[in-house]
Amino acid sequence: MSTELTGVIITFLITILIAIPFGKYISGVFQGTSKLLNFMQPVERLIYRLSGIDTGQQMDWKSFLKAMLTVNLVWVVYAFLLLITQGSLPLNPDGNASQSPDLAFNTAISFLVNCDLQHYSGESGLTYLSQLAVITFLQFVSAATGIAALVAVFNAFKEKTTTRLGNFWVLFTRTITRVLLPISIVIALILCFNGTPSGFEGKDSIVTLQGDTVSVSRGPVAGMVAIKHLGTNGGGWFGTNSAHPFENPNYFTAAVELIAQMIIPIAMIFAMGFYLKRKKFSWVIFSVMTAGMLLLLIPAISSELSGNPAITKMGIAQLNGAMEGKEVLFGAGLSAYWSIVTTIISTGSVNSMHDSSMAISGLMQLLGMMVNAFYGGCGVGILNYFIYIIIAVFISGLMVGRTPEFMGHKVEAREVKIAALVTLLSSLLIKGFTAWAAYMVAHYPEADWAVKPGGWLNNPSYHGFSEMLYEFTSSNANNGSGFEGLADNNFFWNITTGISMLLGRFLPIIAPVAIAGLLANKKFIPDSPGTLRTDSVTFGVMTFGVILIINALSFFPALTLGPIAEYFSLLAK
């Protein structure tokens, strides 16, 4: 167990050591001062010329959001059409069928919004063409969209007063050409040299040690797995995701994939400090987020390494911890670390089955997604945290009897209302849809969604409720992981989670960009002795308190009905 903990600590420390200089590089990319990848300029100029983009055009927050939402609409229509026709298109060596309209609706939205919730099994639900032209494509552009939106917020506070948030098309293009693409190539090469497939052959037939003949799916996996983690996407080429030996062949690749999915969210925190020349502020945010992660991680690792209390009461030793649903190659410790990393960040990839996690671990995973701001996804993690900052600034201002201010701009009723709306909407989507699903299970026990073979739920009572709560929490947080005891490929779940994913993605992007644009257009107020310092430890603690209170009030009753009740029921057995 000490070896497992050592592996977790070393992996996290390496991530931080890489993230700081990487954050400085990202800051340079968007300020135009980094020369490292200037050889990409001809490619960028060609893209601008073919697309008719005026790179000198500066956008206000409304124009920025218009451009972002318009192109995302085009992408989702494109993805939907390809998915419902994939069975008749080329690059389909395994003869996989087209998706049904409701499943295609869910899949197209899922990958558009960086959620990557999969209501299909990767190797059998998609063709090579759709894996590349839809899934991998959307994994690049969705990550770039979130980062571009965050840089727009940076631009809002870079000048004293401004309406210019940058050019969406330029920020978006640079994100792909100078951040996502080159790093993805490096990760893909590492995976290739460690055994991840990268060819276009169809299924291969092999004979196992037992003498059975089985078909093994293959394909150009390495490139997709690279961006799935770097872009905090998470959708797997194979149904078992990074628990599959082709997606994650060994402990080294597991460490690489863990670092990959954390590196941009953490680097963007430091990039903000370099970009705005507020390094202390970025360290305060990093400290709050890291404290939040540790409060989730420590109980999860402890719970998994301690094993299942029900099995312990049977007198069965669990020397390696709770190993149900986990790969022996990775162990309980690294699996617990992965489960928290993938849920506090919006990756959603898995190297173990979360449905088999201990109740405490499931609780921590749910809380990570409900907060959705401890590092978070590419760009959107800080955007979600920004909402908490606005609320914390407002409450702090009331406490000291001053007009709330943030970076020299007054925070007034309009900005606070927008921030409050986002937090309330998140709670409404998760609890409202979960209540609807639970009502249907409880009141129509003979229907297709009942707890029975072929129904929605493979587990009754507390865990069955947790499965439904997890699905909508994951959808709203644009995470994509799941308690896979839930049978979710049906009209109800495809449509409801699709709606939850859309609202859960774009409103938390629209709101911070709008708030930043509104604040940036106000008269700048220089610091004075009475100014609330947002780069202080006190304000960091205040923000952390706001995060805890908002989420405790919003979600504690639902969590009590699910993982908390399940935990106490295990102790009582």
**Share of residues in the chain with pLDDT > 90 (%):** 73
What is the DSSP secondary-structure string of 512-546?
HHHHHHHHHTSPP----TTPPPTTSHHHHHHHHHH
Judge whether residue 451 has pLDDT over 80: no
Instruction: Report CA dihedral (269, 274, 277, 278) to the nearest 10 degrees.
Output: 20
Interval 388-406 mean pLDDT? 86
Q: Measured between alpha carbons, how far is 36 from 482 in angstroms, rounded to an integer?
A: 39
pLDDT of residue 1: 57
Number of H helices, E strands in the chain: 21, 4
Identify the pLDDT of residue 319.
Answer: 82
Q: Of the spans 210-224, 235-249, 317-331, which averages the highest pLDDT? A: 235-249
What single DSSP character describes residue 21? H
Q: What is the CA radius of gyration of the chain?
A: 23
Q: What pLDDT is stored for residue 477 in this prediction?
A: 95
Place 453 in a pLDDT band, splitting at 50, 70 and 90.
very low
Tell me the H-state helices in 326-454: 331-344, 359-371, 380-400, 413-443
Measured between alpha carbons, how far is 299 from 321 in angstroms, rounded to an integer?
A: 14
Look at residue 449 and tell me whether its pLDDT is greater than 80: no
What six digits make up the tokens of 402? 């001053």
Tokens of 217: 């799916």
For the record, the structure tokens of 126 come out as 């998609």
What distance lies between CA 224 and its chain's CA centroid? Answer: 16
- Could you tell me the pTM of the whole model? 0.94
**Which residue in the block uniquely carries the two structure tokens 């951040």?**
179
Q: When comparing pLDDT for 159 and 149, which is higher?
A: 149
| Strand stretches in 198-345, DSSP E | 204-207, 213-216
CA atoms within 13 A on the CB side of 462: 18
Structure tokens at 372: 């959705």
Which residues, other chains included, contact 566 with Cβ-Cβ below 8 Å and sequence gap of 6+? 359, 362, 461, 462, 463, 466
CA distances to 61, 142, 271, 456, 501 from 76, in Å = 23, 11, 30, 27, 13
Which residues lie below 8 Å from residue 220, measured CB to CB, with a gap of 6+? 128, 131, 132, 197, 198, 199, 200
How far, in Å, CA of 568 to CA of 558, rounded? 15
* Closest CA relative to residue 545, chosen from 447, 329, 438, 399: 399
Taking the C-alpha atoms of residue 474 and residue 370, their distance in angstroms, rounded to an integer, is 8
**What 3-state DSSP class applies to 406?**
strand
